[in-house]
Amino acid sequence: QVQLVESGGRVVQPGMSLGLSCAASGFTFGSYGMHWVRQAPGKGLEWVAFIWYDGSKKYYVDSVKGRFIIARDNSKNTVYLRMNSLRAEDTAVYFCARDGRAASLDYWGQGTLVTVSS
Amino acid sequence: QSVLTQPPSASGTPGQRVTMSCSGSSSDIGSNYVNWYQQVPGAAPKLLIYRNDQRPSGIPDRFSGSKSGTSASLAISGLRSEDETDYYCAAWDDSLSGYVFGTGTKVTVL
């Protein structure tokens, strides 16, 4: 069955960098685009970034453009999110999700918590 | 980044039909499919409806979606206690080149 497992979340200070990983299994990873979505404590869902199945195109929400980088390694069935210049407002649970039919996010990981605090 | 507008809450008694709206614009809902997600607090979201009105395997037919112009709606018929949770609409936005979520609706079963 499809499984997505995020890792890398922890407490970091403002201005620091952090990398998240999402390991996929149970499907042909290299055939699907992948998303990162975040949810601040007590808030709604916010889409963060999307990468095409082959990594050729990447899209970001305005608030992270120039600071976050989405990447993937299809040989390792893993999608990454490199987060630089972190701010308090980046504090959230970060989910990875598979891009399914009609731009739906059809499978989600359990999420990893990133806390940006001094 | 713009978001899709949903009512903050909706409620009904067991067995009733509850509906919730999702309002967008010509660049998101007006141009692309709408998807709906259910999220139990503390858990990952789950895809409920895709392509405006399609249910993934395993989603009961009590859940139905529709779209008209720049708005969409989700209906839950035969409301059950386990339906008491949060619901989000979402769509791709062509002008932003990004995915946008709704503000979320919390359903309460009275």
pLDDT (tens, 9 = 90+) of chain A, 118 residues, equals 999 999 999 999 999 999 999 999 999 999 999 999 999 999 999 999 999 999 999 999 999 999 999 999 999 999 999 999 999 999 999 999 999 988 899 999 999 999 999 9
Chain A positions in Cβ-Cβ contact with residue B56 (cut-off 8 Å): 106
Q: Which helix (H) or strand (E) holds B33?
A: none
Scored b (16 or more CB within 10 A) or e, B56-91 reads eeebeeebbbebeebbbbbebeebeeebebbbbbbb
Chain B positions in Cβ-Cβ contact with residue A3 (cut-off 8 Å): none
* Cβ-defined contact of B99 to A62 (cutoff 8 Å): no
The percentage of residues in chain B with a pLDDT greater than 90, rounded to a whole number, is: 97
* Cβ-defined contact of B35 to A63 (cutoff 8 Å): no
* Residue pair B14/B81 in contact by the 8 Å Cβ criterion: yes
> Which A positions 29-68 lie with beta carbon below 8 A of chain B?
35, 37, 44-47, 50, 59-63
State which residue of chain B sits closest to A36, comparing Cα positions: B99
- Please state, in angstroms and rounded to a whole number, the distance separating the CA atoms of residues B59 and B100: 23
Amino acid at site A115 = T
State which residue of chain A sits closest to B43, comparing Cα positions: A110
> Which B positions 12-31 lie with beta carbon below 8 A of chain A?
none
Q: What is the pLDDT of residues B58-87, one digit of tens each?
A: 999 999 999 999 999 999 999 999 999 999
- Taking the Cβ of residue B92 and every Cβ of chain A, the question of whether any pair is shorter than 8 Å is answered with yes
- Taking the Cβ of residue A3 and every Cβ of chain B, the question of whether any pair is shorter than 8 Å is answered with no
